[in-house]
Amino acid sequence: MNWSELPRPIVCLAPMDGITDSAYRRIVREVSRETILFSEFTSADGYLRSDKIRRRLDYRPEEHPYFVQLFGNNPDAFAETARALEQAGVAGIDINMGCPARKIVASQHGSGLMQDVKLACRIVGAVARAVPLPVSVKTRLGWHDARDLPEFAGALADAGAALITIHGRTYDQAFHGEADWAPIYALKRRLAVPVLGNGDVADVADGLRRMGPLDGFMIGRAAIGNPWAFRPGPAAPPDTVERLDVVRRHYAYAREARAERHALIEFRKHLAAYLRGFTGAKAARVRLMRMESEAEFLAALDELAHRAPPLAKAG
Ligand SMILES: Cc1cc2nc3c(=O)[nH]c(=O)nc-3n(C[C@H](O)[C@H](O)[C@H](O)COP(=O)(O)O)c2cc1C
């Protein structure tokens, strides 16, 4: 796969730790055949050491095009992990240079790499030399502001990055304030490689309105509990029955990889998001969130399907 040759717009599920596992990616794939799927961010060093971390990146053929996002600060570990992932058949490798979590930044991973251009470029170069796959970078506007963005992104492209995604917030902003896309448009005009915008996109139609000269966009938070954000074209919002079918299927996929209790607890964050769209189902929602067994959980979903009034709104 080659980013430059993909049809525009390029629409992607943003990588989200704890959310975009194989189960959820399969659900998004069922909604949209074209969406490009990204894994949760995964430690390049951890991949080499731990079976558990390697298993996190397992995927199914229908998830293609499937990209793995790695974080770390050691170019050799990135290269070795990229080689293993190429063997595993992934479509490409994305490098996280945007995570603002203190633990990550303190050890010069994620956003920390925005402050060490040389190391950031060594990592990109190491992966690009190690595998014939496309290498991309996901980063932010900058540390305090977008002043250094053109230079930083230009250096990454020179080092071998074939696509750059910019989340329109600075490190300082973390997830606060509104995403600013203007510096991303300005970057696109200066950069030869494709550029994706990210930040506050509600769905595909909203992404199309925002993308301007860009090659495409990623959708993150708006897709949690709402895979329909990726539906192409105008379509009626999913009704209660369709929504609950997807919830059941999502849970069944998640359960394939986890024991009952673990699956139920892990699924709560998805469930809370799926149920946001329901009106008049507060009691059922509270009960569902407390379910201790799968049998109870599935029975409560059935009950909700029969009792819930129609949805007030989509998403
Ligand atoms: C729960 C959660 C987990 C995230 N994990 C990652 C991650 O693993 N890698 C990454 O590059 N960004 C991660 N992000 C950031 C998103 O990919 C995206 O850049 C950000 O949420 C802004 O886009 P949005 O407004 O569409 O959500 C995460 C965001 C959230 C809310």
Signed CA dihedral, 38, 41, 42, 44: sign only: positive
Single residue among 230, 253, 271 that ends a domain in this structure: 230
Atom of ligand 1 nearest to the CA of 165: 19
Average pLDDT value for residue range 137-157: 98
DSSP 148: T
Question: Does 100 share its domain with 219?
Answer: yes
Nearest protein CA to atom 21 of ligand 1, as residue: 220
Nearest residue (by CA) to ligand 1, atom 15, is 16
Nearest CA to ligand 1 atom 2: 16
Going by the DSSP 8-state scheme, the letter that residue 230 receives in this structure is: G
Mean pLDDT (whole number) for 272-298:
83
**Both 130 and 195 in a single domain?**
yes
**How many A from CA of 266 to the centre of ligand 1?**
18
Regarding whether 87 and 145 lie in a shared domain, the answer is yes
Total number of domains constituting the chain:
2
pTM of the model: 0.96
CA atoms of 105 and 139, how far apart (whole Å):
13
Does the active-site annotation cover 99?
A: yes
How far CA 216 is from CA of 7, 116, 178, in Å, comes to 10, 27, 19
Residue whose CA lies nearest to ligand 1 atom number 29: 16
Q: What is the pLDDT of residue 280?
A: 63
Between the CA of 41 and the centroid of ligand 1 the distance, in Å, is 9
Mark which of 180, 212, 230 sits at the end of a domain.
Answer: 230
Do the domain assignments include residue 19? Answer: yes
Helix (H), strand (E), coil (C) string for 24-74: HHHHHHHHCCCCEEECCCEEHHHHHHCHHHHHHCCCCHHHCCEEEEEECCC
CA-based angle 111:52:21, to the nearest 5? Answer: 60
Best mutation site among 11, 12, 13, 16 for ligand 1, i.e. most ligand atoms within 8 A of its Cβ?
16
Q: Is 203 in the pocket of ligand 1 (CB under 6 A)?
A: no
Residue 290 DSSP code:
T
Q: Is residue 314 domain-resident? A: no
201 and 300 share one domain: no
Residue 273, pLDDT above cutoff 50: yes
Flag the least confident range among 15-24, 131-140, 207-216, 240-249.
240-249
What is the 8-class DSSP label of residue 236? Answer: P
Has residue 198 got a pLDDT over 80? yes
Round the average pLDDT of the chain to a whole number and report it.
Answer: 93
State mean pLDDT over 55-83: 98
Are 153 and 286 in a shared domain? no
21 pocket-lining for ligand 1 (C-beta < 6 Å): no
Q: How many angstroms is it from 293 CA to the middle of ligand 1?
A: 30
Cα-to-centroid distance, 17 and ligand 1 (Å): 7
150 shares its domain with 180 = yes
Cβ atoms within 10 Å of 203's Cβ, excluding its own: 18
More confident residue, 108 or 217: 217
Please tell me the distance from the alpha carbon of residue 304 to that of residue 140, in angstroms, as a whole number. Answer: 41
**Minimal-distance CA residue to ligand 1 atom 26:** 220
Say if residue 58 is in the same domain as residue 199.
yes
DSSP state, 169? S
pLDDT attached to residue 277: 67
Of the candidates 23, 27, 37, 99, the residue annotated as catalytic is 99
Mean pLDDT of all residues in 136-158: 98
Q: Is 69 in the pocket of ligand 1 (CB under 6 A)?
A: yes
Q: For residue 77, give its domain range.
A: 3-230
Rounded Cα gap, residues 195 and 213, in angstroms: 9
Vertex 78 angle, CA 90 and 72, to 5°: 110
Q: What is the DSSP string of 106-126?
A: HTT-GGGGGG-HHHHHHHHHH
How much is the average pLDDT of 107-125?
96
Last residue of a domain, one of 198, 230, 262: 230
Token pair 């229908």 is found at 62
Nearest ligand 1 atom to the CA of 138 is 11
Burial 214-253 (b: 16+ CB within 10 A, else e): bbbbbbbbbbbbbbbbbbeeeeeebebeebbebbeebbeb
What's the confidence (pLDDT) of residue 306?
Answer: 79
What pLDDT digit, counting tens, does each position of 161-181 carry? 999 999 999 999 999 999 999
Model confidence at 302: pLDDT above 60? yes
Q: What percent of the chain has pLDDT over 70?
A: 96
Residue 235 domain flag? no
Q: How confident is the model at residue 314 (pLDDT cuts 50, 70, 90)?
A: very low
- Please choose, from the candidates 92, 107, 102, 98, the residue with its C-alpha nearest in 3D space to the C-alpha of residue 152: 98
**Candidate from 24, 71, 167 with most ligand 1 atoms within 8 A of CB, to mutate:** 167
- Report the CATH number at residue 298: 1.10.1200
pLDDT in tens, 26-48: 999 999 999 999 999 999 999 99
Q: Pairing between strand 36-38 and 66-71?
A: parallel
- Residue 315: pLDDT over 50: no
Q: Which atom of ligand 1 is nearest to the CA of 198?
A: 23
In-domain check, residue 312: no
% pLDDT > 90, the chain:
83
Please check whether residues 221 and 283 belong to one and the same domain: no
| pLDDT at residue 240, rounded to an integer | 87
Position 197 confidence tier, pLDDT thresholds 50, 70, 90: very high
Distance (Å, whole) CA 315 – CA 301:
18
Phi and psi at 88, nearest 5°, equal -80, -5
- Which of 48 and 291 is assigned the larger pLDDT? 48
Is the model's pLDDT at 234 over the cut of 90? no
